[in-house]
Each structure stands twice: as C-alpha cells, then as structure tokens.
C-alpha cells in the first residue's frame, strides 16, 4: 500500500473512502467528524443510528451520500480517549486497521485518513503518528493508496517524520 501525507480538507479528497474520527455514539461531533457530517448531509446521521454504539478501536462504514462524486464510502473510526480508554496504543492501532478492514469489505482501493484521537481525545501527536504508520504498514489489506490528510502543518510534520 502506498502511503502519502498531504495537508488539506479530507472532505475534498479524490478517493474511494474517507475516514472520520467518530465518537462511540456515532452522532457527529467536533473537528473532522463535524466537517464530514456537514459535507455528507443529514442522511449520514440516519444511516449511522442503527450502527451505534461503536467501541474504541473499531470502525463502521456507510455510504458517503452528498460528499464529492468519487467518494463512495465514509468509515467512522472510534479512537481512544487518551488517559481514559486503555490500552490506548492498541486501541488506536486497531482503529486504523479496522478502518482498512471496512474498506476491504466494500472494495475501496483508496482511502484518506485524518489523525485519529489527536484532537479533542488528547492523544499526543508524536506517539499517535508513529502508531498510525506502524498500524497501516503492518496491516493486510487490498487498499492500494492511503492518504494521511493533515489539517495543519504540525500534524503533517509528525506524519512525515513517522514515515521517515
């Protein structure tokens, strides 16, 4: 799988699936999840209701609804709340790997990820970047292209270093 780091808006990526950093109730939250819900429209929330709750370290998948034409799927990955959900490292790695498994279920060959758990959930960015790269590079998947979409320069820097 080819992994690249880009800075930008995950909702504008030209990929088969985008991942959002969801909360366990799957009702839309802040940050990237709010942006994905806004871009996908109200049908996204309706599709998620029967799939909730989703525990930390797991992911569910829905249609992309009103997102950009190429994006067909949204993967809702629930990362750990740092200092609350343990073992945090394992749960974070699992959120990335489980997201790839959901992509495989629907035949998605390209996916864009945000930095899961590093916003409101407080996971330290250097550690989260390392864990995400290790999880993605060790996963068995049919996904051919993975874009790590950084919202800011700091995230971009740490992901680029972790790929190293």
Please give the Cα distance from 105 to 122 (Å, whole number): 30
Residue 98 has pLDDT above 80, yes or no: yes
- Tell the residue number behind the tokens 């200092």, with chain if given: 83
Task: State the DSSP H helix or E strand holding residue 135, giving kind and residue range, or none if neither.
Answer: helix 125-138
Give the mean pLDDT of 121-133: 97
83: exposed, middle or buried (Cβ count in 10 Å: 0-12, 13-18, 19+): exposed
**Catalytic residue from among 9, 14, 16, 33:** 33
- Judge whether 93 and 133 are in contact, CB under 8 Å: no
* Confidence band of 100 (pLDDT split at 50, 70, 90): very high
Give the mean pLDDT of 63-80: 94
Tokens at 2, concatenated:
């080819």
Residue 70 has pLDDT above 90, yes or no: no
Comparing CA positions, the residue from 109, 162, 155 lying closest to residue 131 is: 162
Number of domains in the chain: 1
Whichever domain contains 51, its CATH number is 3.40.220.10
Q: Is there a catalytic annotation at residue 104? A: no
Find the domain containing 99 and state its range.
2-163
Q: How much is the pTM? A: 0.96
Residue 68 has pLDDT above 80, yes or no: no
Residue 47 has pLDDT above 80, yes or no: yes
Q: Which residues pair with 145 in a beta bridge?
A: 2, 110
Beta strands in 34-113 (DSSP E): 59-63, 73-78, 110-113
* Confidence band of 29 (pLDDT split at 50, 70, 90): confident
Residues 6+ apart with CB under 8 A from 164: none
How distant, in Å, are the alpha carbons of 6, 122, 161 from that of 58? 24, 18, 26
């Amino acid at each position: 799988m080819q992994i690249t780091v880009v800075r930008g808006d995950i909702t504008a990526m030209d990929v088969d699936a985008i991942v959002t950093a969801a909360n366990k109730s799957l009702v839309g939250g802040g940050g990237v999840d709010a942006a994905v819900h806004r871009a996908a429209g109200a049908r996204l929330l309706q599709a998620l209701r029967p799939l909730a709750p989703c525990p930390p370290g797991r992911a569910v998948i829905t249609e992309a609804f009103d997102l950009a034409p190429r994006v067909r799927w949204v993967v809702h990955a629930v990362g750990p709340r740092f200092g609350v959900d343990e073992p945090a490292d394992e749960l974070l790695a699992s959120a990335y790997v489980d997201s790839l498994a959901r992509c495989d279920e629907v035949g998605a060959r390209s996916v864009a990820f945000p930095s899961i758990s590093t916003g409101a959930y407080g996971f330290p960015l250097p550690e989260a970047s390392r864990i995400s790269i290790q999880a993605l590079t060790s996963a068995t998947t049919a996904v051919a292209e993975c874009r790590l979409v950084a919202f800011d320069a700091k995230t971009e820097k740490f992901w680029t270093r972790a790929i190293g």
